[in-house]
A and B are shown apart, each in its own frame.
Chain A
Amino acid sequence: MKSFKLILNVWRQKSGNADGKFVRYEVPDVSEHMSFLEMLDVLNEALIGRGEQPVAFDHDCREGICGMCGFMINGDAHGPLPGTTVCQLHMRHFHDGQELWLEPWRARAFPVVRDLMVNRSAFDRVIAAGGFVSVNTGGVPDGNTLPIGKLDADRAMDAAACIGCGACVAMCPNSAAALFTGAKISHLGLLPQGQPERNTRAERMVTQMHAEGFGHCTSTGECEAVCPKHIKLEVIARMNADFLRAKLRSRD
């Protein structure tokens, strides 16, 4: 098993209000089979041993689905490997002596909580604004009364795969949440269940998205390139179309 040394410059910031700075650490025994977060675990165990505060970072499932983890590695959201969250990024993609810069997602809508942790509750509020089908529990028709073509179901699933990690916002030059918002609008908008609220959904979610301080889309494609779930830019086009249609047809 190969092991090697890494040099890390980690953004350290005690709290949302405190000033932050980069602190340099050496991790001497990195195994190629570790995940990136396991490498940070090893660093943290060493820091605690020395009586220093460990690096705070968000993580939970560590299998790339909960969307809790994520930070910038050398300016790339979730690191250099496409379609991968940091918890699934393994150290075999790095080399001996490499120097890495770890920074939190940076956006006004994602304020830093501590070190590499940010507050992404803005995403929840965007969903709360309209990212649902308004049905209560109970009294719904049989699941098979509504035939949905396989291709439509598949496309809806492509969009629904979003894990809400925030990499799209972090990587976007304009801190836009268009990929995130567009993914939900597309998921529901592609399905018959989502039709009755399609216009209002887009209108409310887009309005909330901007109220949260997310920026505009300039179609650079950076979000798509770092999205761990390969959500496509076409969801943004769909969001725009639904929003514009809603505004054109709005009666109030």
Chain B
Amino acid sequence: MQLDAKVPSGPIEKKWDQRRFEMKLVNPANKRKHTILVVGSGLAGASAAASLAELGYHVKCFCFQDSPRRAHSIAAQGGINAAKNYQNDGDSVMRLFYDTVKGGDFRSRESNVYRLAQISVEIIDQCVAQGVPFAREYGGLLANRSFGGAQVSRTFYARGQTGQQLLLGAYQALERQIGLGKVEMFPRTEMLDLVIADGQARGIVTRNLITGKLETQAGDAVVLGTGGYGNVFYLSTNAKGSNATAIWRAYKRGAAFANPCYTQIHPTCIPVSGEYQSKLTLMSESLRNDGRIWVPLKKGDSRPPSQIPAEERDYYLERRYPAFGNLVPRDVASRAAKQVCDEGRGVGPGGLGVYLDFKNAIERLGEPVVRDRYGNLFEMYERITGEDPYQVPMRIFPAIHYTMGGLWVDYNLMSNVPGLFVVGEANFSDHGANRLGASALMQGLADGYFVLPYTIGDYLATAKPAKVEAASAPFTDAEREVKARLDKLLGINGKRTVDSFHKEVGRILWEDCGMARTAEGLKRALQKIPELREQFWKDVAVLGGEGEVNQQLEKAGRVADFLELAELICLDALDRAESCGCHLREEFQTPDGEAKRNDADFSYVAAWEWKGPGEQPALNKEPLSFEHVHLAQRSYK
């Protein structure tokens, strides 16, 4: 496989200008003759669909939810970064670029990250113009906060609902185009396969989730903005419907899957309360600005927190990382929590939790200030746990939150399959081995509003895709394969529920490919997963029919894909014999338990290539070079 990142030449700050100048344009009169299929309606998908339609393309947009407004971007709480330097605290495009590359532990492509930092400022302007109600200062200017350990205040926010407001902005822009007849929207429609004709991505196979009808859609380019694959772990902060089917189908049609093992664990989630747990709820990281994290010094100390005296508490982050304390990056905070729980010092049911204590903050700032800053989060915590965080310390535990890995894309956001573009969390591009807080929203919107609308035009003008019919062989073949797979799932008539398989594969991954990984554990997982997959195809119970609303069938298809993806994740994690970002291999640590990166051998993007059922996928490497950010070991001590 040829991996050409197509990074423009020239100095890094000129690359994007250079590329925009090089790109061929589509004649405005011809744009409406091009159909572009956009799968997914989150920040990346909706912004791309709306922007492409504004340019004059004919767009078809698909989402599995009942409305494009429900995509999981809506749940992002914290904020969106932009190098505006409105606070005059020394921020700049270069600094945001630097922080993002460093935060990603030197496993991202410099040129992409630089462009992201450049575009970040335009995003804010665009969203303001759309009427996104960002927080304001009394003087009427935009407010910022510092987020996720950043040393500058560059995060824009709309209460704790930034993702919701940004998504609604994109959704409204999309609805405007739908109203104008420029976008055809297909809600409650799931993409089940990618169609490739003459080596180009030319269409998709979809299932209408109400009628069950299979359909083929043809276009000149396909855009996947289908989000991350964190739900492979079963318990994650993702929405229940979030799935990897679109990118996994694309992978099996030849798109390379990059860095699947880079999965981010968020440190401040509400712990699991029982076997029935269906998802994990994240609480904004901002809680760590004022809360102090601790566990009892003694193992198995079951006293209520109020009865544990100060000298018998271990404020382990403050102890281990005196400079950053409770504000260390997500991966560091998560791993430290796991370590203390592994030592038997965890709190709450099952010992899987640590305290996040606001007692000092309430004493220092007074309850009204704490309520003003965190009131809605405290309320959410109490709603879920029934405990009052003003009285009792919160219990938190890390949970799977974001996946940095995804389909490999070049600088133009096109995968190695011509005509297949991948945006937002679904691609691998900008976050390396770890994503900084408030950067996901930035990337999704940068891709959708400001990168893809240009690069897709260049592709159409250059590749000049020929006419295809949705009734031609590649389409009918793909549809037949999809149909056969659905029939197979419905024909198994087994005993075990889909969820039970999903939970089991999630548990395997969490234990052996979670926050800390070992070669031994990964090999164990690589043995267990194919066994479980085999059992799934023998014993899964999928009731009902194909031509009706069938939520079990939808789930079964997604879990079948997760059972394959899980194996690739472990394979990638095993291959990457180093610790970097969120990927910690226990064999590769410094003596005091910090991650040890190996730049000499692993400074590459691992792009996996499907080789057929039962075959080992092939590893292709895109080497990474760092010319502007000096390679350094992260230290938060």
Contact = CB atoms under 8 A, between A and B. Distances in A.
Say whether A associates with B: yes
Interface of A: 1, 14-15, 31-35, 37-39, 41-42, 45, 48-49, 51-54, 56, 58-68, 84, 88, 90, 92, 113-114, 117, 119-121, 123-124, 127-129, 131-138, 140-144, 146-150, 153, 156-157, 160-161, 163-164, 187-188, 191, 193-194
Contacts of A131: 172, 175
Interface in B91-140: 122, 124-131, 133-140
B162 to A, nearest CB: 11
B65 A132 contact: no
23 contacts: A34-B276, A48-B543, A54-B551, A59-B240, A60-B241, A61-B74, A66-B71, A68-B70, A124-B69, A132-B131, A133-B131, A135-B129, A135-B130, A141-B129, A143-B128, A149-B140, A150-B138, A150-B140, A157-B133, A157-B165, A188-B131, A193-B129, A193-B130
B634 interface: no
B40 interface: no
Given A33-B386, A140-B128, A160 B168 contact: yes
Nearest to B276: A38
B208 to A, nearest CB: 12
A1 B277 CA distance: 14
Interface residues of B, number: 81
Given A56-B551, A88-B384, A68 B541 contact: no
Given A56-B551, A153-B135, A88 B175 contact: no
B131 A191 contact: yes
Given A147-B141, A157-B159, A132 B210 contact: no
B445 to A, nearest CB: 10
A131 to B, nearest CB: 6
Interface in B150-204: 158-159, 161, 164-165, 168, 171-173, 175-176, 178-179, 185, 187
A153 B141 contact: no
Given A45-B499, A140-B128, A194-B131, A54 B276 contact: no
Contact of B383 (A68, A88, A121, A191): A88
A117 B554 CA distance: 15
A65 B164 CA distance: 8
Given A61-B72, A114-B548, A137-B453, A144 B86 contact: yes
A132 B86 CA distance: 27
B241 A160 contact: no
Interface of B: 47, 50-51, 54, 65-72, 74-75, 84, 86, 122, 124-131, 133-142, 158-159, 161, 164-165, 168, 171-173, 175-176, 178-179, 185, 187, 210, 239-241, 273-274, 276-279, 281-282, 349, 380, 383-386, 449-450, 453, 497, 499-500, 541, 543-544, 548-549, 551-552
Given A45-B499, A114-B549, A160-B133, A66 B75 contact: yes
Given A42-B276, A164-B67, A137 B54 contact: yes
B80 to A, nearest CB: 12
Nearest to A161: B161
B70 A141 contact: no
A33 B274 contact: yes
B53 to A, nearest CB: 10
Given A41-B499, A138-B122, 4 more contacts: A62-B281, A63-B279, A65-B164, A84-B383
B136 A62 contact: no
B129 A133 contact: yes
Contact of A66 (B50, B72, B383, B386): B72
Nearest to A1: B274
Given A132-B172, A140-B128, A62 B279 contact: yes
A108 B129 CA distance: 35
Contacts of A65: 74-75, 161, 164
A183 B552 CA distance: 35
Given A41-B276, A66-B74, A90 B548 contact: no
A137 B450 contact: yes
Contact of A62 (B128, B165, B210, B278): B278
B556 to A, nearest CB: 11
